[in-house]
A and B are shown apart, each in its own frame.
Chain A
Amino acid sequence: AQSVTQLDSHVSVSEGTPVLLRCNYSSSYSPSLFWYVQHPNKGLQLLLKYTSAATLVKGINGFEAEFKKSETSFHLTKPSAHMSDAAEYFCVVSDQPGGTSYGKLTFGQGTILTVHP
């Protein structure tokens, strides 16, 4: 069984300040973990993914996430927020290790990021 918990339903930051979106997971396997971003009434766009290679994963738009097995966490960070980062973010775990087959995704509940000028 697998599950994902996003610890904050809403995060609000000022433009130019750091962003931290928190995610904890549980999985029976060595998990594949993803962060997706969704702008209003749009599909999901992949920000980054972890599939058992380097524990610090760099993604698009300056985002990165660190896989910490001891803490079962996969928090998403960005050093400096931009207005265009305002969106909803989903932490996701796959039930197949390594992402090499067609396993199901389990989504967190989502974190809405608001960026103030």
Chain B
Amino acid sequence: DGGITQSPKYLFRKEGQNVTLSCEQNLNHDAMYWYRQDPGQGLRLIYYSQIVNDFQKGDIAEGYSVSREKKESFPLTVTSAQKNPTAFYLCASRGAQNNYGYTFGSGTRLTVV
């Protein structure tokens, strides 16, 4: 079955370390997104990519970086510059294949210890 896979499900990081969250999709979707979720704030857009080798900053890009070397993959790096990285991170993709609907992964919960 097609879908989005985020790994790992839970991730612990020490302060000052960079960490990369994986997002892979086999839906052949062109567009991919990273959202951050904090209690009571809904989801906020970090970065998005509409095509391979191109991506744009979302509303809260500071302290994050991404790459889009392959259509299937859109990894997110949380750098040490991100002041408050503890959150639930959701990856999504979107394409013509499902009438431009969004498909979400199951998320990665990142905790800084």
Interface residues, chain A, with chain B CB atoms under 8 Å away: 4, 9, 34, 36, 41-46, 49, 90, 99-102, 104-105, 107-110
A104 partner, pick from B41, B48, B107, beta carbons under 8 A: B48
Residue B104 interfacial (CB < 8 Å): yes
Can you identify 6 A-B contacts, CB atoms within 8 angstroms?
A42-B106, A43-B90, A43-B104, A46-B101, A105-B45, A107-B43
Query: Which residues of the other chain, A, contact B15 by a CB distance below 8 angstroms?
Result: none
What are the residues of chain B within 8 A of A99 when measuring CB–CB? 99-101
Asked if B2 is at the interface of the complex by the 8 Å CB criterion, the answer is: no
Closest Cβ of chain A to B95, distance in Å, is 9
Contacts of A107 in B (CB 8 A): 35, 42-44
* Residues in A whose Cβ lies below 8 Å from that of B68: none
Output the residue of B9, B42, B94, B102 with the most chain A CB within 10 A: B42
Chain B residues near A4 (CB-CB < 8 A) = 42
Contacts of A42 in B (CB 8 A): 106-107
Contacts of B100 in A (CB 8 A): 99-102
Indicate the size class of the contact surface on chain B. Answer: 20 to 34
Q: Which of A44, A49, A90 has the most CB of B within 10 A?
A: A44
State whether A9 touches B45 (Cβ < 8 A).
no
CA distance A104 to B9 in the complex (A): 25
> A108–B105 Cα gap in the complex (Å)?
19
Chain A neighbourhood of B41, CB < 8 A: 109
Shortest C-beta distance, B102 to chain A (Å), equals 7
A102 surroundings in chain B (CB, below 8 A) = 30-31, 48, 50, 94, 100
For B40, what are the chain A residues with a Cβ–Cβ distance below 8 Å?
Answer: 9, 109-110
Q: Which of B4, B9, B102 contacts A46 (CB 8 A)?
A: B102
Q: How far is the CB of A108 from chain B (nearest CB, A)?
A: 6
Closest 4 A/B residue pairs (Cβ): A107-B42, A43-B104, A102-B31, A44-B104
